[in-house]
Amino acid sequence: MAIAAILDEAASGARPDIADELAAVAARLRRSTVQVRGRGPGGGSGVIWRPDGLIITNAHVARGPRATVELWDGRVLAATVTARDPQRDLAALAVDASDLPAAPVADSGALRVGELVLAVGNPFGVVGALTIGIVHAIGPAGEGGRQRWVQADVRLAPGNSGGPLADARGRVIGINSMIAGGLALAVPSNAVERFLRGRSERPYLGVSTRPVLVPVAGARVLGLLVLEVASSSPAAAAGLLIGDVLVGVGGRPFAEPADLAGALDDAGPGGALHLDLIRGGRRGSLSVVIARGGGGPLPPEAEAA
């Protein structure tokens, strides 16, 4: 039966079992969805990932070291940001509570295009709002993108960020992040689990950079100007210097600033990268072995590779 027909039957009351099941799924998702208020105006949503107080939201929602979380039952709790990854747009929060109604989590790798999905959040202050749609695509959004997204035609608005995208059984398969091209983009649940496992094993290069345009062969190309090289870092060991301009990896030029972070993720701790650079107006390259980053929370505005 087509999804539209199923929803029509549920709405008309012709199939009360379907209507009751959808209502039950929505109620469970609402109990596992929280309001998150971080630094600055506005706020977003979050998902209770584990009953011991672990909550997942977006990095752009939890920008500082602390946040405030309001549960479905009205309790307001102080939260600490224990990990943050701006590239993946994920943040982990910890609250001092136990036996919380954690959301069931499904394998996003098993998700198929066309599946029914539901999103819960707090758009424009409307608590626990639910919207429904189907999976449009699974993969990078736009040309040159590296990060995989669950793309769905569910309606999101400010305040939905950080909330759950769930399958028809109410199992979370993504964390809603943004709207692009009229579609909701959600970080897949498997990427969330990797983020949680790798909080102390992030690929680490040890540089701070700033995007710049540099002339190469008569054209202006994107480069990443090295502003800082951490002592005893892989970048320092490889001979990278302040003032170097990174222009690509392994002969592949950067299309956007996030490409360096994507290359680090692909290589992983212990992997090697060949960095293409410009130093003193001359092209060159360096080979660097990626290390594991330190544990603990990331700096509030960290975008460093």
Name the residues annotated as catalytic: 60, 89, 161
In 3D space, the residue among 284, 221, 229 whose CA is nearest the CA of residue 254 turns out to be: 221
In 3D space, the residue among 144, 140, 177, 142 whose CA is nearest the CA of residue 256 turns out to be: 144
Pairing relationship of beta strands 66-70 and 54-57 according to DSSP bridges: unpaired
Report residue 267 as tokens.
Answer: 């290589």
Secondary-structure percent of the chain, ordered helix, strand, coil, rounded to 5: 20, 40, 40
**Secondary structure class of 112 (helix, strand, coil):** coil
CA 90/CA 199 separation, integer angstroms: 11
6: phi then psi, degrees, rounded to nearest 5? -60, -45
